């Protein structure tokens, strides 16, 4: 059983920039700041105690509070999202190459403080798979084509370049 109880208080703290007189009046919508583990544990356990009756909590063997995802964790999740595209294209006889900027852009567009990494799959589907589907339908590239994916900040979009398959040498 998992819960996000207490996460709202932690996120509010991170987005507001503090508490009391030190609190920043201009609320942010996202941050890369990692919350302190002690604060997360306190907020989670306080929220669990307020939400559930003691009779229910006493039936739980253990309550474990997970750490928030760090940049390295998020990069691995973004790589997994790209592997979904690789698998789908490989079944059709295609392959992909992508740059480090693609992973960075996925993280910038698909990760936020409130939803965490849930937006990565949405960005993959809407910004990459939809464009790839259009390319496959409109130009019907031959099997073996390599889709090279890059990201350009000035365009704020993913760029797809098709690299034609090399002709295999036939041995007579």
CATH topology of domain 71-163: Helicase, Ruva Protein; domain 3 (1.10.8)
Provide block-wise average pLDDT over 10 residues at a time, the chain (172 residues).
Answer: 76 66 51 71 90 92 84 93 96 94 93 79 93 93 93 86 72 44
Nearest 5°: the CA angle 105, 69, 101 is 15
SS3 breakdown of the chain: % helix, strand, coil, rounded to 5? Answer: 50, 10, 40
| pLDDT value of residue 134 | 94
| pLDDT value of residue 19 | 55
| pLDDT value of residue 167 | 63
| pLDDT value of residue 172 | 42
CA distance 139 to 132: 10
CA distance 140 to 150: 21
| pLDDT value of residue 17 | 59
Q: Within the chain, which residue ranges are assigned CATH 1.10.8.60?
A: 71-163
CA distance 153 to 137: 27
CA distance 19 to 22: 6
CA distance 32 to 15: 10
């Amino acid at each position: 059983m998992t819960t996000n109880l207490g996460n709202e208080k932690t996120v509010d703290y991170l987005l507001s920039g503090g508490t009391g007189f030190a609190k920043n009046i201009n609320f942010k919508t996202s941050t890369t700041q990692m919350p302190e583990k002690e604060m997360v544990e306190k907020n989670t356990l306080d929220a669990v105690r307020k939400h559930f009756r003691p009779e229910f909590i006493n039936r739980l063997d253990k309550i474990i509070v997970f750490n928030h995802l760090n940049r390295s964790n998020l990069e691995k999740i973004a790589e997994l999202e790209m592997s979904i595209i690789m698998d789908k294209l490989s079944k059709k006889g295609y392959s992909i190459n992508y740059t480090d900027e693609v992973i960075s852009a996925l993280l910038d567009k698909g990760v936020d403080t409130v939803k965490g990494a849930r937006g990565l799959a949405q960005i993959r589907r809407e910004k990459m798979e939809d464009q790839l589907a259009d390319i496959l339908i409109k130009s019907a590239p031959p099997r073996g084509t390599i889709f090279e994916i890059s990201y350009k900040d000035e365009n704020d979009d993913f760029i797809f370049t098709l690299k034609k398959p090399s002709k295999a040498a036939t041995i007579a």
